[in-house]
Structure 1
């Protein structure tokens, strides 16, 4: 059953705490280190003929995922609204968060454009059929209607770290230098996005303690990567690209465990049980961080 879409609730950080996290994120990439599709000057050297069939499939897959950016961005508008019906304190929180989301969205949109450009420049796809393919998936609604604010950050923490790990793994096996460089750029951006989410989740856990336990547990219990429930053949495709480079979103769970562990000096029984649960959900279970 689809849950009603409504603004995120539960305990929320103070606006100044969000502002500090956003400032840290912004400082991580000063203007001189930012990039865009037009700043990559060697597109003419891109050659999909240097890729295996599995690597070509992986590029197509991640392009579809990244190109769904309008759906991801809409989630933050819906659940952290900046409209006239939001009470002032919540509005101030959401307005500070909005500074992050617009930068994050711009960077993710650059990822989508760059991957599409690689496909057309390398001969992997023709522009019009590619646009049609992206539109077919991109028009589908993306929704993770959680009740608690911390859940959106915990979900995106896992999603961004899993994506970063996959880009690193894929970069290590491809032989086209243009794609290798591009995947390195994407990976570095995803690492920064993860860091923002990690800092935010850590602050939530430090401030609200056991009140964050059940919400975070729910995220992991029901976790699906973006488009897993809407893209036709998602799971078959995910298994196929995992044969090219390791693709397992549960690899990111250990990073969530570390973030939560770092936030609390003395863990309650509820917190300990949640950490054990998250660890047990990994494909290859590891002991919880101490």
Structure 2
């Protein structure tokens, strides 16, 4: 029987095996033992939250990352759309998707906790009141998040870059903020994002081992069109993103080199396709640096 789910049908022929997904998921789930897990209600001294310790740029950064993290329902819905666990897919596809679901539900729970902890910080520190913050998050949260990929590896390449970029930003923001509670929160978020990144690395490596050069071009397409989440939906996104990048000296293309490291580990015999990907990523990073200079000159 052919898959009857139009969203997943075109990528069902490009999956790795369920056993390989299971290996990556088991590795991910072992990375945080119970005694190292945390939650919003019990892991922080909320009475110590103090937004007066933050600059305006740092406050803006907190507001920005709260919006990004809070869009979790949209991100999770994407996996449900393209990797469904129901009778619209063939049995072997279901096996793959069911193993992936073990990751995606844990990932979603952790990302939702990120959204909640940032929301709670805004409220406890005095950045926002609960009612206005809920309203602001609802305005952005109900907007649609979607991607249109043809190869399964792209659904793991995108979050590999995105999770690493987010981790880098949290680390750098943590280094500049003066509120100890916010530093603690950002440290926990950064560690979680590093674990998520490691899972996507494992998945991309498995796809490269199975498909070789056939996976390289789809990955290049992800980089060619890459935008951080909600870049096309948040009003004034690029000006806001530039401001928070200046606050913590950040560029999402810093994450690209980590993708190349993954490819290097997975690919034994480097082909022309591999060399083209490396050159393309280097060119994208150079263009990004040039664009930042141009924008800075315009703003100044």
- What is the TM-score of this pair, normalised by structure 1? 0.95
Out of 39, 44, 65, the residue aligned to residue 42 of structure 2 is: 39
Q: Deviation string for 1:77-110 (max 9, x for gaps)? A: 0000111120011100000000000000000000
8 Å contact from structure 2 (residues 44, 181) kept in 1: no
**Distance of aligned partners of 1:11 and 1:112 in 2 relative to their CA distance in 1, 3 Å threshold:** same
Q: Distance in 1 between matches of 2:276 and 2:187?
A: 36
Q: Which residue of 2 aligns with 1:94?
A: 97
- Give runs of aligned pairs for residues 52-67 of structure 1, distance below 5 A: 52-67=55-70
- Structure 1 residue ranges without an equivalent (≥5): 286-290
8 Å contact from structure 2 (residues 216, 274) kept in 1: yes
Q: Which residue of 2 aligns with 1:181?
A: 184
Q: Distance in 2 between matches of 1:258 and 1:280?
A: 16
Q: Distance in 1 between matches of 2:13 and 2:259?
A: 20
SS in structure 2 opposite 1:118? helix
Q: Which residue of 2 aligns with 1:130?
A: 133
RMSD: 1.3
Q: Distance in 1 between matches of 2:246 and 2:283?
A: 24
1:247 CA displacement: 2.6
Q: Distance in 2 between matches of 1:132 and 1:190?
A: 27
Q: Deviation string for 1:180-211 (max 9, x for gaps)? A: 00000000000000000011101111221011
The number of equivalent residue pairs is 282
Q: Which residue of 2 aligns with 1:21?
A: 24
Q: Which residue of 2 aligns with 1:288?
A: none
Q: Deviation string for 1:147-203 (max 9, x for gaps)? A: 111001000000000000000000000000000000000000000000000111011
- What is the TM-score of this pair, normalised by structure 2? 0.92
8 Å contact from structure 1 (residues 5, 145) kept in 2: no
Q: Distance in 1 between matches of 2:233 and 2:14?
A: 31
Pair 1:227-2:227 in alignment: no
Q: Which residue of 1 aligns with 2:293?
A: none
8 Å contact from structure 1 (residues 154, 216) kept in 2: yes
Q: Distance in 2 between matches of 1:21 and 1:275?
A: 25
Q: Which residue of 1 aligns with 2:78?
A: 75
Q: Which residue of 1 aligns with 2:144?
A: 141
8 Å contact from structure 2 (residues 66, 118) kept in 1: yes
- Structure 2 residue ranges without an equivalent (≥5): 291-300
Query: Which one is further off, 276-285 or 90-99?
Result: 276-285
Q: Which residue of 1 aligns with 2:110?
A: 107
Query: Which one is further off, 242-251 or 117-126?
Result: 242-251
